[in-house]
Structure 1
């Protein structure tokens, strides 16, 4: 079916779209701000309550819980409608933030982050899942770009909130300030979102796949605590075996994480999901950037938070730039994005490990490299996500919307666990200090450059599997192809 592909940004803020657009965008903004706040203040948290060995676990468990929330979002939407689903999600987020604000030790902090992650994952997934429910298809790319662009807003707010409270030695208030904001957000969504429940038939939850997915991430995270390289390698092998089991289970189960036949050989969804995953894995190296900047380059929590956030700023800028492209422009954006990410990570592997006095002669190139990584990820991002929605079977549109978040969060969790393993093996904890941070930075960015290198091939495959006229005419692409 051919549809009118002409759309304007103003269409998202006209009539009944206005309130919905604000609600969905704010949800992702709050989720992103929370992540950047936590990333910025984590070095201060470690100084206060200890737990350097659990540094990466703050991100890993937060994201694993977010995955659980994202998968449950479709069932929650079916059962309670948008209004009830957002209310439940907000309550979990509020409880988690309270636990973090009151945490006396790092294990309690990690638990709080997990609860917060569950609520945040619900909000994050609901925001994406509702795009195809409330907007015309011609608005999907712009809606996806706008929602994802909230990470850009977060780059302004998150590091400021985290950095200011960290410098005031009041990091707990960085979580506490989120409480009244989330209460207001819950009230807003309850008032403006529709109360009607989804008319689609509810399906069984893919509990086995969720268990395998969480186990794979946690095994890599647990292995990262060991000092033996063999233990770490064994953890990765076991995790990969669990992922293979998950893929086989997904292909034969009626309760699925992904649209039907999404992982079948020859499916055009495979390279799309692979590209999204690899790009996100490449970006998860950012969780250690504030620590590296403070230890190696003498930056304050506030400045280090803002420098780390330039990666998200680059992502937002390129999304806005490319969201309205069509045809050949889309194909160029999807394929060239991973190349830019690769160049940025290789530059960071060279620049970040060299200690400096914090002058802009040293920091300027680092900022440019971080921005390049984010720019490469965002370049084809809205079109990758739109293609996933377009190619999903009509009966699986809800699953497709939630799957975007599930895949993105799984890649984030796996990447965070892998980052913890690489840095620990490279000397992050022992010897620690400047020498350990320098070694960890070098190996982290070098190893993670493999992700965009692989994404170049998967992105090319995702383009080959779609006829050029699909982007021009907005025709739904063929779900399966054997061209790549």
Structure 2
């Protein structure tokens, strides 16, 4: 066990590769890589799969079930970690992920693929949640932002390398190969966990798993997903409203439970954790519209090819990872507080610039808006996540940390549904002229910018601690 002073000098990136932390860095980044690469691999290979085994009408459910189960798995991550320990839970969830991968890879029908995708989502949701929960345990505070920077780099690499690798595997071998590439990654991850993560030696939690609340979370996210694929505006409104009601009830019930899934002050408006979680939720909700509609609009409005449109969209990931790396060395609490508040502001500004770009019919302006959004996430996300982790009440750090990736995924799901609702109301699917398509697109991103204002207001309301109350932190590196 080593003692690390909080006010030590700025840590270099090389310290992540120091023998004390290199194994932890590799393990957590590989856990993120499983989550990131799998999504890009599958999205590229599935269209070929349905041409071979059929089930085109079910293809959207391959993503929907994955998303729902990953959020349910993430919500249970902290509880499972407390009951079985990080190592056992990570190995178990890794095996679930591998089982799902093999079922999907050797499927002979789309329903079998759906079973595999559901298991993949469950396993990866738990992995992502526990990897987040382990960050403040395994690294001193001065290195946490660098860990998030390294993970952002993994995501950016996946955004470019995932579709390319999947395309090559699908074209030259088989769509099944794009699934099977996850097998060696999963086995390496499990081997690292078994070798690196200590055996659980804490007090075992004997509380039962709250099946009802987890099922309710799954139901709420399923309703959100149904809203995203419904073709009727009235149904979309009903699904979104019902989803909101279900998820609010889950939060209320969780606060009264003896086996809570969330921090006790989750979404409260008078605490760092509560307000911070609102920012974590609302930023992806606002940004989701670009993930759903930007590439499609570039192709339909300006006749971009898939590769050019994809590269255009990827400027978001480039800006995020680049900025996350550039700011990771900042240790000043006041500068970190400024960047946490700057992030949502850049998100809103970027969405507004995209609106201006489409209004003026200038692609370069739209790209600048996309890069501004990525910059907003890059400069703030790591510090925001760290602030929520470190502000959690005694005994609740695991729940606060594990909730972060789960809430991010939920934010994208809710944002996609809201964007779909706005798109249908604005006539996006029926637009047959450039002007009609442009007007509908402007409406979508204007609403997204308005949602982003909520994240910006929450960011400025966020009570940020000036410094860690502990002068010395104790860490047990992997």
Q: TM-score, normalised by structure 1?
A: 0.83
Q: 1:38 to 1:436 in 2, by over 3 A?
A: farther
The equivalent residue for 1:113 is 117
Corresponding residue for residue 64 of structure 1: 68
Shift of the 290–166 alpha-carbon distance from structure 1 to 2, 3 Å rule, reads: farther
Q: CA deviation at 1:407?
A: 1.8
Distance 2:453 2:173 in 1: 41
Distance in 2, matches of 1:166 and 1:351, equals 36
Q: Is the 8 A contact 1:39 1:287 kept in 2?
A: no
Cα distance in 2 for partners of 1:434, 1:103 equals 42
**Deviation larger for 4-13 or 431-440:** 431-440
Cross-structure match for 1:403: 403
Give the Cα–Cα distance (whole angstroms) in 1 for the partners of residues 444 and 192 of structure 2. Answer: 41
3-state SS of paired residue (2:265):
coil
> Which of residues 3, 7, 18 is equivalent to 1:4?
7
The aligned counterpart of 2:326 is: 321
In the alignment, what sits opposite 2:456?
456
Residues in 2 aligned to 1:110 and 1:297: alpha-carbon distance in whole angstroms:
35
Cα distance between partner residues in 2 of 1:174 and 1:204: 37
Q: How does 1:228-267 map to 2 (within 5 A)?
A: 228-267=232-271
Alpha-carbon distance in 1 for matches of 2:293, 2:49: 14
Conserved in 2, the CA contact under 8 Å of 1:25 and 1:146? yes
When residues 368 and 203 of structure 1 are mapped into structure 2, their CA distance, relative to the original with a 3 A threshold, is farther
Superposition pairs for residues 255-404 of structure 1, below 5 Å? Answer: 255-285=259-289, 286-325=291-330, 326-349=332-355, 351=357, 362=363, 364-404=364-404
| 1:422 to 1:221, Cα distance in 2 relative to 1, 3 A | farther
CA distance in structure 2 between the partners assigned to 1:432 and 1:46 by the alignment: 29
Quote the offset at 1:20 in angstroms: 1.3
* TM alignment of 1:132-171, pairs within 5 A: 132-165=136-169, 170-171=174-175
Q: How far has the Cα of 1:177 moved from its partner?
A: 2.3
In 1: Cα distance, 2:18 partner to 2:133 partner:
20
Matched residue, 1:479: none
Secondary structure of the residue aligned to 1:340 is helix
In 1, Cα distance between equivalents of 2:421 and 2:109? 22
CA distance in 2, matches of 1:265, 1:388: 14
Paired residue secondary structure (2:161): helix
- Equivalent residue for 2:469? 475
CA contact (8 A) 1:101 1:176 kept: yes
The whole-number CA distance in structure 2 between the counterparts of 1:109 and 1:289 is 28
Deviation at 1:24, TM superposition (A): 0.6
CA contact (8 A) 2:27 2:193 kept: yes
Task: Tell me the alpha carbon deviations over residues 347-383 of structure 1, each in whole angstroms, 9 at most, x when there is no partner.
Answer: 444556999xxxxx84x44443322211112211111
Deviates most, 443-452 or 163-172: 163-172
Structure 2 residues not aligned, in runs of 5+: 471-478
SS of 1:6's partner is: coil
Match of 1:209 in 2: 213
Distance 1:287 1:230, change over 3 A: closer
Question: Is the 8 Å Cα contact of residues 268 and 275 (structure 2) preserved in structure 1?
Answer: no
Instruction: Indicate conservation of the 8 Å contact 1:49/1:106, yes or no.
Output: yes
CA contact (8 A) 1:61 1:413 kept: no
TM score, norm. by length of structure 2 = 0.84
Task: Please tell me whether residue 218 in structure 1 is matched to residue 222 in structure 2.
Answer: yes
Shift of 1:218: 1.5
Q: Distance in 2 between matches of 1:442 and 1:45?
A: 35
Deviates more, 1:272-281 or 1:62-71: 62-71
Deviates more, 1:23-32 or 1:295-304: 295-304
Q: Please tell me whether the aligned partners of residues 250 and 256 of structure 1 are also in contact (alpha carbons under 8 angstroms).
A: yes
Q: CA deviation at 1:342?
A: 1.8
CA distance in 2, matches of 1:207, 1:474: 36
Matches within 5 A, 1:46-195: 57-102=61-106, 108-165=112-169, 170-195=174-199
**1:34 corresponds to which residue?**
38
How much does 1:196 deviate?
A: 3.5
Match of 1:482 in 2: none
TM-superposition CA deviations, 1:136-193 (whole Å, max 9, x none) = 3333333333334421232332232234456669544322322233233323332333
Unaligned runs of 5+ in 1: 356-360, 477-484
Equivalent residues of 1:86, 1:189 under 8 A apart: yes
Residue 5 of structure 1, CA deviation: 5.0
Q: Secondary structure at the match of 1:130?
A: helix
Deviation (angstroms), 1:429: 5.9
Secondary structure class of the residue paired with 2:271: coil
